[in-house]
A and B are shown apart, each in its own frame.
Chain A
């Protein structure tokens, strides 16, 4: 099976930069996704990486290192509205690539 580890909680100040790490263990790997979920809301897709390197989408960037089984989500110029939970999810060969396995989520609190 797969396992993913991410910190349970991160706190940062408005305007700062924060990095949310995700390490995974899987017998095969296709790619890594990131989702955001506000309290009471549905998860929404942020980005995915299938290849090594950095993908940038506005204030958010996602990085993948396949050799290290590691990725991170980078949030820049933090805003109060970025307070939410963030989930990494892997698509793996050993489930025929037909599903995502999600981490436990990181709760980000942005303080003024």
Chain B
């Protein structure tokens, strides 16, 4: 069974803080993704990575950066948190190629920025 874990279920941070969200997968997947989910907007891709140290921007990368130093771990960084980054953050992983259709998601981190 694929397992994707995220470091926190709930997080409260102050405006201007640097925030780290961690994601770990245990199935040796090449692809990893970070999404944010807001009501009515579905899942929007922030960044993805198809290999260690490789990253590609998604649809909404502004205000975020990522790090992938090991295959199993993909981190999302909010350099200076703002209130409009209050959201549910979901990490996912998948195999490459057509494996991208079948992504495995973590439980999510609900981030509140005050």
Identify the A interface with B (CB < 8 A): 1, 4, 8, 31, 33, 41-45, 48, 50, 87, 89, 91, 97-105
Find out whether the CB atom of A43 lies under 8 angstroms from the CB atom of B90: yes
Find out whether the CB atom of B101 lies under 8 angstroms from the CB atom of A8: no
Known: A48-B102, A99-B33, A100-B45. 4 other contacts (CB 8 A): A43-B103, A45-B104, A98-B56, A100-B103
CB-CB < 8 A to A33: which residues of B? 101-102
Residues B26-44 near A (CB distance < 8 A): 31, 33, 35, 40-44
Within the complex, which residue of B33, B90, B102, B108 is in contact with A45, where a contact is CB–CB below 8 Å? B102
| A101 to B44 Cα, complex, angstroms | 7
A104 CB to nearest chain B CB (Å): 4
| A42 to B37 Cα, complex, angstroms | 11
Judge if B74 is at the interface, Cβ distance under 8 Å. no
Find out whether the CB atom of B100 lies under 8 angstroms from the CB atom of A102: no
Within the complex, which residue of B42, B50, B98, B106 is in contact with A87, where a contact is CB–CB below 8 Å? B42
Find out whether the CB atom of A50 lies under 8 angstroms from the CB atom of B98: yes
Find out whether the CB atom of B43 lies under 8 angstroms from the CB atom of A44: no
Find out whether the CB atom of A43 lies under 8 angstroms from the CB atom of B105: yes
1/0 per position for B1-34, CB-CB distance to A under 8 A?
0001000000000000000000000000001010
Find out whether the CB atom of B40 lies under 8 angstroms from the CB atom of A31: no
Identify the B interface with A (CB < 8 A): 4, 31, 33, 35, 40-45, 48, 50, 56, 58-59, 90, 92, 98, 100-108
Find out whether the CB atom of B100 lies under 8 angstroms from the CB atom of A99: yes
Interface CB pairs A-B, < 8 A, 27? A1-B59, A4-B42, A33-B101, A42-B4, A43-B43, A43-B90, A43-B92, A44-B105, A45-B101, A87-B43, A89-B43, A91-B101, A98-B48, A98-B56, A99-B45, A99-B48, A99-B56, A100-B45, A101-B59, A102-B35, A102-B43, A102-B44, A103-B42, A104-B41, A104-B42, A105-B40, A105-B42
Within the complex, which residue of B4, B40, B58 is in contact with A8, where a contact is CB–CB below 8 Å? B40
Find out whether the CB atom of B100 lies under 8 angstroms from the CB atom of A100: yes
| A19 to B20 Cα, complex, angstroms | 40
